Amino acid sequence: MVKLFVGGIPLDTTEMDLAQLISPHATVCTIQIIRDKMTKKLKGYAFVEVASREDADQAIEALDGTPMGDRELTLNIAPDKPKTAPPPPRKYVKLERPQPGEFIKKKRPRKEL
């Protein structure tokens, strides 16, 4: 599968609108419209996964620069994210705590002579 970046989509676009737009040119697998986390409004771009590289090239050739609503579409093949190694596990140090009723005498630093 190849992931396409689709930019310049109108803010009232739905997943179905994108599927109907791209499906004549490519086999659409998944669509992810990017929204603002707080307001849930569209940010104006989406990622669409298509079945093959040939489908992606056909969709880019057919739709890049076409007007949709009051905007102009931009289609590109999205670069793959580099896979990063998981962070190393944390090492915890167990602190010794006194038992209830037990007293730990604190040592004072020695004076230098």
**Residues 13-61: pLDDT tens digits?**
999 999 999 999 999 999 999 999 999 899 999 999 999 999 999 999 9
Contacts of 11 (CB under 8 A, 6+ apart): 41, 42, 44
pTM greater than 0.75 (yes/no): no
Give the three-class secondary structure for 15: helix
SS3 at position 82: coil
The C-alpha atoms of residue 35 and residue 71 are separated, in whole angstroms, by 17
Q: Domain 2-77 is in which class?
A: alpha beta
Whole-angstrom CA distances from 85 to 42, 47, 88, 108 are 31, 24, 9, 45
